[in-house]
Amino acid sequence: MPHYSGRMDDDELAKLMREIEQFDSAPASPPANQSASHPQAETSQEVATRDGSGKGKWVAVAAATSGVGGLVVGSVLWFIPFVNGPSTALGAALGGAIAALVGQPPKWLK
């Protein structure tokens, strides 16, 4: 087994530089068999004009699940002053909706 000393000799370095140069000068188009199996990526204009219903569903799902979680936590922590189920549910639902508006919906929801 060869021992790696952390240094390259001149031949290895020249070979590496040739490989890098060859890679940099290669055409950027994908091979023909890949382009047929993978659809072309959407442009920003196509994304902008696409049906935006996924975002609305994502906001509703995030608000509902956050609200239920807040209701459970608020109900468990009833003994803390000014903390109850409905108030934490409302705050969690509002926070979940804002976070969903800022973020993007997951692919499974689209």
pLDDT at residue 90, rounded to an integer: 94
User: 48 in helix, strand or coil?
Assistant: helix
pLDDT (tens digit, 0 to 9) for every residue of the chain, 110 residues total? Answer: 455 566 778 888 888 888 888 888 866 665 555 555 555 665 554 554 455 557 888 899 899 999 999 999 999 988 888 888 899 999 999 999 999 999 888 777 66
**Within 13 A of 108's CA, how many CA atoms are on the CB side?**
1
Query: Which DSSP string do the residues of 4-15 spell out, in sequence order?
Result: P-S---HHHHHH
Helix (H, G, I), strand (E, B) or coil at 80: coil
pLDDT score for 14: 87
Confidence at residue 51, expressed as pLDDT on a 0 to 100 scale = 52
